[in-house]
Every structure is written in structure tokens, then in C-alpha cells.
Amino acid sequence: MVNEASFNSVDIEPYSISKNLQDLFLYSGKYRPEIYLDENVRSRISTFALLASADEIVARCERLATDINTGRIKEIINKYENNHGDYLFVIADKVLIMN
């Protein structure tokens, strides 16, 4: 498909969320999950506003609060730690067509 769109030399570069991230988007609480319990934070993250029902958000925030309070959240965070990145940048060179 990439070749059909006149791209070649496709590379993938992993991007990992840093612990001192300041921007707010869905994964910004990777190392600070307590931020998701703040309604003001959730209201600024489109995934919460567009893809989750109010009931689902309440239920999952209650579960998150429990996991944070029991310390289980550390186990969950460690379980998903990897060296593959949290997001991927796709880098492709455009094929130049000479006429």
C-alpha cells in the first residue's frame, strides 16, 4: 500500500511516554494514573469525551482508585513495561517522479 501511494523506504521509530510528560492525551497518565481520577483532566482528553459512556467512566475510575490505593497499580504498570514504545512514528520517503 505504501508503494501504491508513491512512498518507499519506510521506517518505524518507537516513541515512549516520558515520566515528566506535561501534555494531556489518553496515555499521559502512564506513570501518573491518578490524573485520570480528576474530571478536569478527563474532560480534556478526547477519548473520554467521545468513546466512553458516563457509567463506564465512573466504574473504571472507581476500579482505578482501588488499584492505586492498594498499590496494585504498580504491578499493572510493570506488567505492560516494554522496549517497543508506546506509540510508533512511521517515516517514509516520497518517491520523486520525473517527467
List the domain boundaries for the chain.
Answer: 7-94
Any alpha helices (H) in the chain, and if so which ranges? Answer: 39-42, 46-51, 54-70, 72-79
**What is the rounded average pLDDT for all residues in the chain?**
87
Q: Can you give the pLDDT at residue 73?
A: 97
Q: Model confidence over 34-61: pLDDT tens digits?
A: 999 999 999 888 888 888 899 999 999 9
Kindly indicate the confidence band of residue 83, based on its pLDDT and cuts at 50, 70 and 90: confident
Residue 89 has pLDDT above 80, yes or no: yes
Could you tell me the three cell numbers for 61? 475510575
What pLDDT is attached to residue 96? Answer: 72
pLDDT for the residue 33: 94
Q: What is the pLDDT of residue 7?
A: 76
Distances (CA, A) of 64 to 30, 33, 54: 12, 8, 15
